A and B are shown apart, each in its own frame.
Chain A
Amino acid sequence: MAEAPAVTIEREIDPWPARVGPAEVTLKLTDAGGKPVSGARVKLEGDMAHPGMKPEFGDTREIGPGRYQGRLAFTMAGDWVMLVHVTLPGGQTLERQLDVKGVRAN
């Protein structure tokens, strides 16, 4: 089995602190050498920390070398977990779990 590629993901969420409603998510993907990872397919999934809640999904587009932007709706206040599903240009896939704690009510 191929080893998961060493990709670092940095995230920005606008508005921050996150509030209930649509948010703009920007992700910066870099490889082990710090070089931007271009040409990947990146999908977003937002899950509440509590089970049984409706997950939210979002696509992204590459807005610059290794920079991907998409929208994700936080439908209720509380702790969210953002799953980032990445398919690299070589077909390898990876998934990262990023906490978005304390999404606030409007």
Chain B
Amino acid sequence: MTPPSEHVHWLFATGFLLLGLCLLAEAIVGTEVWRRRAWRAYLWPGLAFSLGVLMWPVMVFYTNSTIHMIAHGAWAQVLMLGGAMELGIVRGKLRSDWWRLGMTAAFLVSGTALLVHEQNPWLFQRSAFLHHLLGWTLIVGAVFPLLRCIRPRSQAVATGFALTLVLTAVYLYSDRDVAPVFGHISPLAGTPRR
């Protein structure tokens, strides 16, 4: 009854897309306006935390190797940690902007885990390509949450942070279990489904 792994990627893409839209809206209207309603202030940090929680069932049900289990477990932990720190900032319990390093850590650990647990080369097939692309996008994109510690009111940094998550959603939606990438697919990958 567990969904195929590509469906899990698409469900997470939906979460990341909503997360990206919320952050984009916050970047446009400014944090002061965005946080005027309590439910809205907690929306995206809560969503990030929930995505972390939802990574645990992924770890349990999609463990086909030790490296997958470690990667999914690490994602679960850092997403929850990053989300929790942002929740603490919104609540006012955490006052220093340096607590935003939690999200930087989430990006770096997630990116590294993606690269480490994808053991096929870039053009093996689409999911391999996307795992490499996602990994490097998150590692490079970690500069945005890092800059949020230094310049928390910068609209450009907030927009970059939001667009990184929207891009992550696009990559996740593009994922298929077996599919070619730019016309390439290894004969070892299996038969692609349309």
A and B form one complex: no
Chain B residues in contact with chain A, CB under 8 A? none
Chain A residues in contact with chain B, CB under 8 A? none
